Structure 1
């Protein structure tokens, strides 16, 4: 596939760039141990992620403008703790898990160096359901820089609504065919492709820890699918 006309890359951030599973596992286990709880914290981390994603993806178009993914994390956490009989977690501890820990999530190790190289060739911007503060705070925590941040928080719709991708192209003042969406999730790339974006699937086999990712196999109709970010860099820049 020829990517010579691509001028910008838009990135899914949660899962593709950030290791949320380790971050949530560590936060939950840290607080749980304070209360003498021994649980399968990796499983609960995945449950927390599923619940928060369900909340945000159900918004679609016309979400509550006063609600973002930080709020989604908190509501998902409260329901998880209730169902798991962990309601001894204090308000301060719930705040830490929902509003502090996600802002310090670490990038996958293969991302920061590659991202710096990609920025020499392309505009690199998250197009994400994460809040502005999660994206900006994790960028600072991982010493990475974005050319711009496009959060669904401000777009007024949530992926996979087509409006999100169309608005991202408008922000960049580019045709969709001049943009490549980079993600580890078929639902995201399928929606971007339907809007005319180029698509690149990057496998993140450890996104859900020992649990297999919900979408481990890329749609073969995507323009590119690779096992890691160094390979993505090589494929995207070979003809430039």
Structure 2
């Protein structure tokens, strides 16, 4: 199918754009070093991400959302530290891990130089479960210029609910078919496709760390409108 009618690229941001694994892992390791304790920090970083993500998806289905991602990072971290016997981590440690680290996540290196090229032809928006402030802070830290930030925090409903995708398109004043959802997560792309979006999978094989199995290794052309290994290839596919 032709991609000529696409007017906006809506980017999942946590994982697809931001390297959350390294940020959480390093913050946990720094706190551990302060207190002379050792753990598998990479494993705990991934557990923190899993719990936080689970706490966010589909909020708004059964009532107004009760927390944003910053809250989820903190209560997920507190639970993990208790389970791991790491109550020695103090308030400053917890702030550094659950708030400062994600608000300073770095981008995957192929995205910042590609973003201006994508913006030449399309509206480029962060469409995310992350908080407005987290996206603002990481954009400033990484020199990103989004045309728009569409946070589910302001929608009252979160991905993977169809209403979240409908509202993102509504605020862009576009039909969903004019929006290309760009993500490394099949669950996000599948929900966007069901809501009428076009879809692009950009693989991020080390999202869960360098030792993790590549995400969605079996995704092939035909599963989505575009399947590529990096952002320059996405730009080429849209040229």
- 2:113 match: secondary structure: helix
Equivalent runs, 1:67-146 vs 2, <5 Å: 67-146=67-146
Figure out how many residues of one structure are paired with residues of the other and give that number. Answer: 237
Deviation at 1:221, TM superposition (A): 2.6
Deviation at 1:164, TM superposition (A): 0.5
TM-score (norm 1): 0.95
User: 2:3 is matched with which residue?
Assistant: 3
Deviation at 1:203, TM superposition (A): 0.3
User: 1:198 is matched with which residue?
Assistant: 198
Deviation at 1:64, TM superposition (A): 4.4
Structure 2: tracts of 5 or more residues without a match: none
Deviation at 1:66, TM superposition (A): 5.6
User: 1:22 is matched with which residue?
Assistant: 22
TM-score (norm 2): 0.95
User: 2:218 is matched with which residue?
Assistant: 217
Q: Deviations over 1:149-181 (max 9, x none)?
A: 000101111111000100011001011111100
* Distance change in 2, residues 1:64/1:93 (3 Å): farther
Deviation at 1:78, TM superposition (A): 0.5
Deviation at 1:62, TM superposition (A): 5.5
Q: Deviations over 1:97-135 (max 9, x none)?
A: 111110000000000011111011100001100000111
Q: CA RMSD in A?
A: 1.4
**Maintained 8 Å contact 1:63/1:156:** no
**Maintained 8 Å contact 2:207/2:215:** no
**Maintained 8 Å contact 2:203/2:215:** no
